[in-house]
Amino acid sequence: MIDDRTAYGQGVADVFAKTAQKDGMKLVDREYTNDKATDFSAILTKIKASQPDIIFYGGMYPQAGPLVRQMRQLGIKATLMGGDGICAPELGKLAGEAVAGVTCAEGGSPLSQMPGGEAWKKRYDAEFGASAFQLYSPYSYDGTMVLAHAMMKAKSVDPKKYLPFIQNIDYNGVTKKDIHFTKTGELVDATITISTFDKDGKKSVVAVQ
């Protein structure tokens, strides 16, 4: 495991480590870098001796690209895994054919599996242009609509008045039907999408959980 010591990178690595060990996986090493690094040879040489099956990287794609490229140059065959920070089309451009097999997890479902996803994206592209679309655009939309509905129910824009309505909201959104939350504010029946890249940098969905 490697993380870049940022709040995001360390956080996602900590969660992965805890979950993996709970499921019986063995963490053989944990190394640290930073979010500006481009040379991972020292870290990878040390990790190579452990012969891991998986190297999890907590960080973003600008570092994940050269990281996986250097893994292959050193003869490390382990699968590189990471969170949504490495799940970007740009990863293939940075890694070249070494991107093949890289696996990543993103919160939410792919657009094709959202109940209103495809129709919503057509409207979104017509309004803002296809280049404006980002991974979490439909979730931002649903989040905004949930807040708007809560404000309408409360007849107020005062958070103290409308926030209690969010816990009881039942909203049919673009990303999922029947959007509602737990008492602690977690989305009920939230999904995670697991994807992998081929050698050309094309990302394909492996599973939605």
Domains and CATH numbers, the chain: 2-108+191-208 (3.40.50.2300), 112-166 (no CATH)
**What digits encode the pLDDT tens for the residues 53-88?**
999 999 999 999 999 999 999 999 999 999 999 999
| pLDDT of 192 | 93
Phi and psi (nearest 5°) for 65? -60, -60
Burial label, 66 (beta-carbon count in 10 A; 0-12, 13-18, 19+): middle
Residue 115 token pair: 């109940």
d(CA 60, CA 76): 20
CB 138 within 8 A of CB 175: yes
**Chain length of the chain:** 209
Average pLDDT over residues 12-38: 95
d(CA 90, CA 69): 14
Per-residue confidence (pLDDT) for residue 80, from 0 to 100:
98
Local structure of residue 69 (DSSP, 8 states): H
